[in-house]
Structure 1
Amino acid sequence: MRTLTHVVAGQPCTINFPERHADLIAFETFLARGDKVIAVDTETTGLDVYTPRHRLRLVQFGTSTEAWVLRADLFAPAIMRALRQPRSLLVHNAAYDLLVLNRHLGVTIEEIGPRTFDTRILAHLLDPRTESEGGIGLGLKPLSAVYVDPEAPDTQNGLTAVFRGLGLTKATGWAGIPIDHETYVRYAGLDVIYAHRLFGEIGPMVRDIGLDHLSKFEHHLQTLLAILQRRGMRLDVPYVQRLKGELITEAEQFAAVAARYGVANVNSTAQVAEALLAMGEQLHEHTPSGAPKVDKNVLLPLADLTLQWERIESRTPNPLADAVVRSKRAQKWAESYAQAFLDLKDADDRLHPFIGGLQARTARMSVSRPPLQQLPSGDWTIRRAFIADPGQAIIAADYQAVEMRVLAALSGDETMIKAIADGVDLHSFTAERVFGPDFTKQHRKIAKAVGFGKVYGGGAATITRQTGADLESVKSALAAYDATFPGIKRYSRRLMNRAEYGRKEVVTPSGRHLPLDRDRLYAATNYVVQSTSRDLLAQAIVDLFDAGLGEHLLLPVHDELIAQAPRDEAAEVIREIGRVMESNFYGVRIASDPEVYGPSWGHGYGASA
């Protein structure tokens, strides 16, 4: 057996690396000491757990002063026995490791998820900000440097240097580094030592500020989301292969259109900007270096398109802007979706997107690898790739304007609450109040943008860009909106005042503390509404599992829960899912739209084949 030593916060620690079965006697003695909580971690060949090439290399167990790093290829039975002992486990970013241990060792999420603590969840509850936002971040090493040992080394940087020395990259190094390399073993062992010590520091802090209830909820939710990720969704592989070819062709065709206007490379900011200026377009936004901006937010309005790729109908589309955005989107979709689906699918043609239960400052859920939450809300092309299992139908339910309903409930605005109770279309109702009974389609778009601006923090300039309306008209619409729904303005002002003269944070109805940036106090309403809407969806997922409906669920995306059920039961199942999702929030009904989509997810968005 090899033993490495390391000093953590002034205290000697040992990292043990068994090399033969006889060395496991000491490991069994370590387990028999009876520690109530043992930290666990894994080292694998990459992030994509369900791809055929993914392998488990090491499993580590540790306390605050001792780590055991076990090779999975040699000691799998001992690892499995250790995991199944009746004690609490401690993991940093447990969502990943639960899936790894389930797939490669057969130790199921259901077995160990309920007794696993995740220091990443605890850290998010204390401060959800990333390092770029002024927080510590949620990585184990930055957190350890603050809470455990200021001298905590970033062993990952050391590993990266080793990878380079071996002729490997960051991507290939995890699979290619010798399994007994000292830096690799030390990195693995320190992770569990740091995690154990971090838990001892931040666990009591979460209790002290009264967030035990949220901790229990988020840990339970994480287990349920891991079960959904393990389940995955079936891919129509021939469709994906065909779609990839069509997208590449589309990208080339629109690139050829752009070339006719002098743009040889649609990704060249300088070429696109120069050509647009030559066509008489005015580019008002600039980069820090002074160059004109021609990103998606600039080009889409010039192409008379919203962020959801719907016609604004405020101008004649600029053909170059239209060609550039369409070429770049087709290329991105070919790479980020079609090719990614083929690369990430498992041996049974199922895709297992990563479901992040606690993402961003507001704790919203996300779906990544691939990023399905970035799809335009009305597009069926990519969604068509996901199909029901044999004999099943895809079903789904999403919330009806959940952010607007949450905003109405929290602000107590009587006008908006009554409009919701009366079942009217909120955006048409707002347009009528703002522009009068003869409001136009364009007026409704402005009213909708103003309403969502209140939720997501968009100001007059953003709404102008989204709708094509002139700035003065948008400012007038914002003023009329405030007059129509005075409770919303009062609520937003109250949140900002509390943050300005008190702690720079808002606290959501669930008790979540969300820090505010000193120069962005106006984001207070956005944070509370977005976070609360997320909590309602998270609670619905828990409630659906409690009701025995969890076996149908496949994926949460934004406010939508995608599921499947036997074709002859689909309508009944989705009605029940919709019923469970609904609730009464501060006197406002949180309603759902249950629907049977059919053979694919895309069939709910207009796909016909």
Structure 2
Amino acid sequence: MLLVDGSSYLYRAYHAMPDLRADPADRASQPTGAIRGMINMLNSLRKDYPEAQHVACVFDASGPTFRDDIYPDYKAQRAPMPDDLRSQIEPIHEVVRLMGWPVLAVPGVEADDVIGTLAKAGEAQGLDVIISSGDKDLAQLVTPAITIIDTMSGKRRDLAGVQAEFGVAASQMLDYQTLVGDSVDNVPGVDKVGPKTAAKWLNEYGSLDAIVAQADKVKGAAGENLRKALDWLPIGRQLLHIRTDCDLAGHVDGLPALDSIAAGAEQTGALADFYEKYGFRTLAKALQGGGAAGGSQSSRAAAGAAPSPQDDLFGGLPASSHVGDAVDYETVLTWPQFDAWLARIEQADLTALDTETTSLDEMKARIVGLSLSVAPGQAAYIPLAHSGPDAPEQLPIDEVLARLKPWLENSARQKLGQHVKYDRHVFANHGIQVAGFVHDTMLQSYVLEVHRPHGLASLAERHLGRKGVSYEDLCGKGAHQIPFAQVPVDKAAHYACEDADQTLDVHLALWPKLAQDERLRGIYELEIATSEVLFKVERNGVLIDADQLRQQSHDLGQRILALEQEAHALAGQPFNLGSPKQIGEIFFTKLGLPVVKKTATGAPSTDEEVLEKLAEDYPLPARILEHRGLSKLKGTYTDKLPLMVDPATGRVHTHYAQAVAVTGRLSSNDPNLQNIPIRTPEGRRIREAFIAAPGHVIVSADYSQIELRIMAHLSDDAALLAAFTEGLDVHRATAAEVFGVEVAQVSSEQRRYAKVINFGLIYGMSAFGLARNLGIDNTAARNYIERYFERYPGVKRYMDETKLSAKSKGYVETVFGRRLYLPEINSPNGPRRSGAERAAINAPMQGTAADLIKKSMLAVQSALQKEKRATRMIMQVHDELVFEVPEAEVDWVKGEVPRLMAGVAELKVPLLAEVGVGPNWEQAH
């Protein structure tokens, strides 16, 4: 038996889901977030428990119950149901029925009591009963046959789970709840008695009755409060007791036979109509048979409407490029076949190209086979290095690549791929410099729907309704995974052809959407060009001094050891500096340090924030913080970087991921060169190991205060514009405005405050955050912010208008048109909505800065190639470009690079790039 606490879940779905609407373009249309959340949850449950013979979704009926007669203040503190949720109740009941779930809402009986009655009836018939609910009150129903699951948190409350979570047996839960009370339902317990005390008493006395009988023996304030509550406890127990003997006549027929809640089938036609009505087109499509077919067949969905937030967030847009079921996939094993396909791609307007390789490491990967597609449903796979026992004779790889090379390196032969930067590297490993990659489906998705996954499988399912063979299906997982070269060629061919075919199909679905929007198309073209420059940057790599890093590792190891010994001495005993439990015992039990905050389980926290707070007054937390920081430096950088040097080049080659950050910023990994800490001497020493080759120097070019300049441009604030236009120190100018002094009289401390305010506000920092950052009280911080906005009213106006625009559109834009979606901007969940509002203010600045540095990369790389310079761009880190420059070209780079970076866009304030030169990266700053 599967019972769903619908009343619990509809509230949780409402608060957890974005503010979806049946018509995304009309904010006044029917809200649908809670509806969609309920559908998701019920679908998941039926999938997880397909054997359920009896099912029901139980809701509270409107009107009073027997508890209101016992205690008029029962649930008196509950806020009224939000109107947006109230309007979704009837559709939720409707869709639940259409999905094959009986819906129960019994007048005069709460949902918990209906669930309790059904659960016990099921148990009596020998059924295993699963109750899906987030309500801990139902834990009193748990028995060996009755289990509660919370699908939203993953929590499972069986007998062991209840004991572990609450510290009492399930049979004691009613007594436990009576002692603790229920603030949600306005049922008092014993004053000042919380979970720990209640569990302690029940473990000592056994039951509430025994506790009451010996109340005079319970000592302290808790005992006094217990004695004061003796008259109330029987009433509280009656209110909290879940009834299991309710009269459900007319709602559940034939108890205990349970015939009326037998699991039913979906009413497919009516359900599809419902999904269409409320904007769930993906769900409707799935019901209509839009999933992928297997074998050599591919399902092709009809062209569909523009994407809606529902589709973007929950997985499907029926927008394929063609209709038809049959596919024509060919395995190329002979020269006549190869010649025929070579002729086809020579004549094609656009060819989808994909590689199958030996490795995900783009600098080491070698080709196993190639796939091509020139028309929807038509593709070929050229196996070149399969080595399985049944592998057929294949065309020689060197000859095939030699014959393909003219086409691959011809920029007039337009090509398409999914994550083409990887394929560029793979071909470069074979001595081929691919030209003509004009489209990349990963980047198309990134520009159109930045908040969604961009992998090919996700794109194909979302936009085509196609679900193909996965890499794991072919090669297995983990330790049992085989190399692609050992996959049987027939299976490999279907998989590879499908990749190329789907890539072409996704392009035909996405490209028209980009092409019709001039600003989005401009961002996409910027990303395509950036991909090509990043390929060069990654290929260039950066030279590091491995010996210097090894010496740094040794020095860090000595300091880490010394810190450990100091920490042991301060604690008065040895302990594991990496163990939160041991740290907590020493801090709060042995040393009596103040508890800053607690974890979800109620234990004192020892996280980074707590350590930083305690380190202000106590030496031991300071030592632990320093130990953690140095251990991370050693493990992440000084130990690992020398091991990541490519033997073939003698350099470290990072990977820049384009389609990750929603703001458009690049992400560096393997190794991450963007997060090397620079606030400590040890962190800066690591950058000293990034060196130039003999006869060269490192040059760093960095945008100055770029996000503040963008804020000035976006806000059009007169005072801020003037500060930048006149070349003033903007932090000093802000300090003069906020503190009401002349610019020349601003102290260094006032400038520091102004800098924190300037950067804090563009990141949405609150008065509380500012107070904490500056070490001042909340009132002073609030006064600083108010004074700031008085002096810079344009900034305040920009922030307010941006939030309103984001709420209306669901996204914000950079200066150049990059869209940054904010799914939670209208969320009924306060913290999520506030986070989205902060992002709405900051994202246009971060996103515009990302656009500018990419434009700079293109401008500088173009100039390097045009001038035939030997200077190489070797890193991009946030707002900084790093170059390895021959000594003879230093003057040219120092003059030309900042000029190019300042000239990539014309904002209302001048852009400024500052240049530094040195033998290593640190000294170039």
TM-score, length-scaled by structure 2:
0.57
Distance across 2 between alignment mates of 1:264 and 1:175: 45
Distance across 1 between alignment mates of 2:295 and 2:638: 47
Aligned to 1:310: none
Of the three residues 369, 372, 382, the one matched with 1:70 is 382
Distance across 2 between alignment mates of 1:252 and 1:231: 37
The yes-or-no answer on 1:421 pairing with 2:733 is: no
Distance across 2 between alignment mates of 1:294 and 1:448: 30
Write the mapping of 1:392-541 to structure 2, written as runs, cut at 5 A: 392-437=696-741, 441-500=748-807, 502-516=808-822, 517-518=824-825, 519=833, 520-541=836-857
Distance apart, 1:71 and its partner CA:
3.8
Write the mapping of 1:124-135 to structure 2, written as runs, cut at 5 A: 124-129=446-451
SS at match of 1:589: coil
Distance across 1 between alignment mates of 2:629 and 2:402: 46
Distance apart, 1:530 and its partner CA:
0.6
CA contact (8 A) 2:447 2:819 kept: yes
**Contiguous gaps of at least 5 residues in structure 1:** 130-135, 304-314
Distance across 1 between alignment mates of 2:454 and 2:599: 30
Aligned to 2:362: 49
Of the three residues 624, 648, 660, the one matched with 1:324 is 624
The yes-or-no answer on 1:200 pairing with 2:514 is: no
**Contiguous gaps of at least 5 residues in structure 2:** 1-293, 301-324, 386-395, 826-832
Aligned to 1:363: 664
Distance apart, 1:158 and its partner CA:
2.4
Of the three residues 149, 168, 179, the one matched with 2:465 is 149
Distance across 2 between alignment mates of 1:434 and 1:263: 50
Write the mapping of 1:278-297 to structure 2, written as runs, cut at 5 A: 278=589, 279=591, 281-297=593-609
Distance across 1 between alignment mates of 2:731 and 2:405: 53
Distance apart, 1:477 and its partner CA:
2.0
The yes-or-no answer on 1:8 pairing with 2:321 is: no
Write the mapping of 1:182-331 to structure 2, written as runs, cut at 5 A: 185-210=493-518, 211-260=520-569, 261=571, 264-278=575-589, 279=591, 281-303=593-615, 315-316=616-617, 318-331=618-631
SS at match of 1:70: strand
- More relative contact order, 1 or 2 (CA 8 Å, 6+ apart): 1
Distance across 1 between alignment mates of 2:628 and 2:907: 44
Of the three residues 316, 338, 341, the one matched with 1:30 is 341
Q: What is the one-letter code of the residue matched to 1:198?
A: V
Distance apart, 1:174 and its partner CA:
6.3
TM-score, length-scaled by structure 1:
0.85
Distance across 2 between alignment mates of 1:256 and 1:181: 60
Q: What is the one-letter code of the residue matched to 2:471?
A: Q
CA contact (8 A) 2:442 2:659 kept: no
The yes-or-no answer on 1:559 pairing with 2:882 is: no
Distance across 1 between alignment mates of 2:851 and 2:670: 23
Distance apart, 1:231 and its partner CA:
0.9
CA contact (8 A) 1:399 1:559 kept: yes
Distance across 2 between alignment mates of 1:280 and 1:427: 42
Distance apart, 1:302 and its partner CA:
4.1
Cα deviation, 1:548-592, whole Å, max 9, x if unaligned, reads: 377432211111111122225424422221121114643201111
Distance across 1 between alignment mates of 2:490 and 2:689: 44
Q: What is the one-letter code of the residue matched to 1:380?
A: R
Aligned to 1:121: 443
How large is the Cα RMSD of the aligned pairs?
2.8
CA contact (8 A) 1:8 1:149 kept: no
SS at match of 1:373: coil
Say if 1:432 and 1:196 are closer, same or farther in 2 by CA, change over 3 A.
same
Q: What is the one-letter code of the residue matched to 2:363?
A: Y
Aligned to 1:588: 909
Distance apart, 1:339 and its partner CA:
3.5
Distance across 1 between alignment mates of 2:358 and 2:568: 42
Say if 1:486 and 1:271 are closer, same or farther in 2 by CA, change over 3 A.
farther
Query: Over alpha carbons, which structure has the higher Rg?
Result: 2
Distance apart, 1:126 and its partner CA:
0.6
Distance across 2 between alignment mates of 1:508 and 1:302: 40
Say if 1:299 and 1:232 are closer, same or farther in 2 by CA, change over 3 A.
same
Distance across 1 between alignment mates of 2:640 and 2:358: 18
CA contact (8 A) 2:540 2:872 kept: no
Aligned to 2:425: 99
Cα deviation, 1:16-64, whole Å, max 9, x if unaligned, reads: 445xxx524223323323332222222333333335xx44333332343
Distance across 1 between alignment mates of 2:719 and 2:593: 42
Distance across 2 between alignment mates of 1:153 and 1:176: 17
Greater shift, 505-514 or 444-453, is seen at 444-453
SS at match of 2:551: helix
Q: What is the one-letter code of the residue matched to 1:558?
A: H
Greater shift, 477-486 or 330-339, is seen at 330-339
SS at match of 1:12: coil
Q: What is the one-letter code of the residue matched to 2:781?
A: V
Aligned to 1:599: 919
Distance across 1 between alignment mates of 2:490 and 2:612: 52
Distance across 2 between alignment mates of 1:13 and 1:263: 68
Aligned length, in residue pairs: 565
Q: What is the one-letter code of the residue matched to 1:602?
A: E
CA contact (8 A) 2:331 2:490 kept: no
Cα deviation, 1:435-490, whole Å, max 9, x if unaligned, reads: 35476545433322221122223333433443333333322222222222111110
Distance apart, 1:526 and its partner CA:
0.4
Tell me which protein shows more strand as a share of its residues. Answer: 1
Distance apart, 1:239 and its partner CA:
1.4
Of the three residues 627, 643, 654, the one matched with 1:343 is 643
Q: What is the one-letter code of the residue matched to 1:587?
A: K
Distance across 2 between alignment mates of 1:68 and 1:286: 60
Aligned to 1:312: none
CA contact (8 A) 2:420 2:437 kept: no
Say if 1:48 and 1:412 are closer, same or farther in 2 by CA, change over 3 A.
same
Distance apart, 1:240 and its partner CA:
2.2
Say if 1:289 and 1:462 are closer, same or farther in 2 by CA, change over 3 A.
farther
Say if 1:449 and 1:84 are closer, same or farther in 2 by CA, change over 3 A.
farther
Distance apart, 1:402 and its partner CA:
0.7
Say if 1:37 and 1:272 are closer, same or farther in 2 by CA, change over 3 A.
farther
